[in-house]
Amino acid sequence: MRAVGWEKPRGDAAFWVVVPLHGMAGIVLTFEDGRQAIKAIGNLSAGWQRDKSPHAFYGLGYLDFAGDICVEVVLQVHARPNVVGALVRKFPRDFEAHGGDESLRYDLRDGKLEILVDLRSNLVWRATQRNPG
């Protein structure tokens, strides 16, 4: 795995782009809303690949969170059912979808999937260790 870009935090604009080796695509991770949310963007069109299930996107990225805590984000999108997946050799750029609520939402457009996760409602802290768990 190799990091291809790191920018020091400027408000909410800290990001780390990782290009994983061995067939996983890099995803762009950013802090949003005063570091209270994480946005993940995966380019499904660019990373769509043949797989055992038959076509899928596998993305991986890391983001420094606090102190020595690092957030790992794994993004997987599979064409289902497999009968349909065998026909989807390229991810359709004209396919659009969106949904979710204020704690977790997604937007798929132009072949890119953007997911926003609110950390306040999705991150559970271990009270005794003061670490996320």
Quote the pLDDT of residue 126.
Answer: 54
pLDDT at 7: 40
Specify burial of residue 18 (Cβ count, 10 A radius: 0-12, 13-18, 19+).
Answer: buried
27 exposure class (CB count in 10 Å sphere: 0-12, 13-18, 19+): buried
Single out the residue of 105, 114, 104, 110 nearest to residue 77, CA to CA: 114
pLDDT at 28: 92
Query: What would the mean pLDDT of 114-119 be, rounded to a whole number?
Result: 92
Report the alpha-carbon distance of residue 76 to residue 1 in Å, rounded. 18
Range from 22-26, 87-91, 128-132 carrying the lowest mean pLDDT: 128-132
Q: What would the mean pLDDT of 4-13 be, rounded to a whole number? A: 42
